[in-house]
Structure 1
Amino acid sequence: MHHTALATAVVGLLAGLASATNGDWQQCGGINWTGDTTCGSGAGCVKINPNPSPIDYSQCQPGAAPAPAPTPTTLKTSAVPAPTSTSTPSTPGSPAGTGPGTELQSGYYWIRAVEAPNFHKYLQSNPLYGTGSAVLGDYTTAGQFQVVDGQLVQLVSAPGAAVKLLYGTVSQERSFNNQALLLSWSETKNTYGTFGWQGDGLTWSVAGITRPNSIAWYVCTGQQVYINLGNYMYQTPTGCVDETIHYYNDKHANN
């Protein structure tokens, strides 16, 4: 009887250890981390990249659980003919969320430009918190973002509500001198290229395309944001300006 009770206790202890998980916003990895790396249901263990330190901390973030692998698609890496018009494409959108408010939520960043004429204009969606155009706008309507597993995500749910995200999606169709790719917001994940951070600068890369400046962007008519595949401040298309955009983690966005 003594041995049976002991065995039962050991089995119970091992079961408890096997099911241990970290709660939302708790540490789940990093340099010298020896604890559990598993997050609760619906959360994912996300590497945090504070500036200027290298990645050395991972945190359980709600809504960041890995999704099933998407069906493989053939990426277009060869140049396609530039459109005959350089006007801003139509990107109809629809409401997707109520928004996280004007106070920065834990685990997310503001993203803003730091050069004229868009100094301290903030990345957001048009319509606000909805699918459609990625634009730079006023600090009072700034979006909140993070890069998770190569995806640029925007938090569009209210604090305390179930986490809802939009994904930055990159068009494979080139425009503006054949050197620009349109960025927009979707409820489905991006399948073309990978987002990341270079210091505090937002980057994008894809196999088969070598970018001279990985943090180079265009802001064109209507404040629409494009990836600049060419050189920064060289042969800038009419109606566009060159920008780099960077994360900012103060409690509130400001101008």
Structure 2
Amino acid sequence: MTLTESVYLSALAAFLVSGVAAQTAPQYGQCGGMGWTGATICPANWSCIVTNEWYSQCLPGSATTTTVATTTVATSTVGTGSTTASSTSTASGGSATLDPGYSFVRSVEAPTFHQYLESQVLGTASPAVVGDYTNAAQYQVVNGQLIQNAGGTSLYAVVQPPANSTVKKLGVSWSRTPDTLGSFVFSGDSLEWSSPTVPRQQTNAWLVCPSGSAQLLPDINLGAYDYMTPAGCSDTTLNAYTGATAVP
């Protein structure tokens, strides 16, 4: 190979590499990480956010940091099973990065499509609400308990007992002690609740209802799904989502 040919091939290789790097990654697409050779530029008003050394992702908003913070873990035991609640790491411009073994939980029906399950006062024992993806909490189901990872502390979903036989929806709140009324389970990716003392027509039927604080409350629906919906409420199901971060 002549010197001229060698120079030409080197220049061509550099051009091809720069061309790949100059391409724009899609929204929520990969944009970096160890060994990544694809596009590294995000669309306008999106930023390439580091999830870990192997993966960076295009997320909405301007970047304020490109680091991922990790902290200690706390272990809680429920019955004969156990769950490890690790404090979540934050990827700027979106939600916390999903920890291994956990899921986000979100509504999948209009008008609350992709509103995420969380605490009314974030990370605390307070009423359950559905809200913006940037505040999405993370969950496991262990021995029938729906457990929220609240920054390394386990919070349990507690269902309000029915006051009488005419009640058609039950409120849900977060507590530091386990629920004793019924059991949660993920059936596929659908979050279901049942109780031997509370009859239900459909175990995965949920309602989202307004509250006095202008937040939306997820309630257990004791009636038929999408039939005789209480005034102001909407029918939905709550489903697990295991993407790296919560998305709109």
Please classify the TM superposition score into its range, dividing by the shorter chain length: 0.5 to 0.7
Partner of 1:128: 122
TM-aligned CA deviation for residue 254 of structure 1: 0.2
Instruction: Return the alpha-carbon distance in structure 2 between the equivalents of residues 215 and 245 of structure 1.
Output: 8
User: What pairs with 1:234-253 in structure 2 (closer than 5 Å)?
Assistant: 234-253=227-246
TM-aligned CA deviation for residue 125 of structure 1: 0.4
For residues 187-209 of structure 1, give each alpha carbon's deviation from its aligned partner in whole angstroms, at most 9, with x where no partner exists.
11111100001211000001033
* One of 62, 65, 69 as aligned partner of 2:77: 65
TM-aligned CA deviation for residue 65 of structure 1: 2.8
Partner of 2:103: 109
TM-aligned CA deviation for residue 67 of structure 1: 4.7
Secondary structure at 2:119's aligned position in 1? strand
Larger radius of gyration: 2
Count residues with an aligned counterpart. Answer: 163
User: What pairs with 1:1-255 in structure 2 (closer than 5 Å)?
Assistant: 63-67=75-79, 101=90, 102-157=96-151, 163-174=152-163, 178-221=167-210, 222-255=215-248
RMSD of aligned Cα (Å): 2.5
Secondary structure at 1:63's aligned position in 2? strand
Mapped contact 1:99–1:129 kept (Cα < 8 A): no
Amino acid at match of 1:115: E
TM-aligned CA deviation for residue 176 of structure 1: 11
Mapped contact 1:100–1:156 kept (Cα < 8 A): no
Amino acid at match of 1:229: L
Instruction: Return the alpha-carbon distance in structure 2 between the equivalents of residues 175 and 251 of structure 1.
Output: 42
Amino acid at match of 2:132: D
Instruction: Return the alpha-carbon distance in structure 2 between the equivalents of residues 251 and 137 of structure 1.
Output: 18
Ranges in structure 1 where 5+ consecutive residues have no aligned partner: 1-60, 69-96, 158-162
State the TM-score, normalized to the length of structure 2. 0.61
TM-aligned CA deviation for residue 137 of structure 1: 0.2
TM-aligned CA deviation for residue 171 of structure 1: 0.7
Ranges in structure 2 where 5+ consecutive residues have no aligned partner: 1-72, 81-85, 91-95
Mapped contact 1:174–1:181 kept (Cα < 8 A): no
Mapped contact 1:134–1:224 kept (Cα < 8 A): yes
For residues 57-109 of structure 1, give each alpha carbon's deviation from its aligned partner in whole angstroms, at most 9, with x where no partner exists.
xxxx96243458xxxxxxxxxxxxxxxxxxxxxxxxxxxx9865410011100
Amino acid at match of 1:124: E
Amino acid at match of 2:208: V
Instruction: Return the alpha-carbon distance in structure 2 between the equivalents of residues 227 and 139 of structure 1.
Output: 21
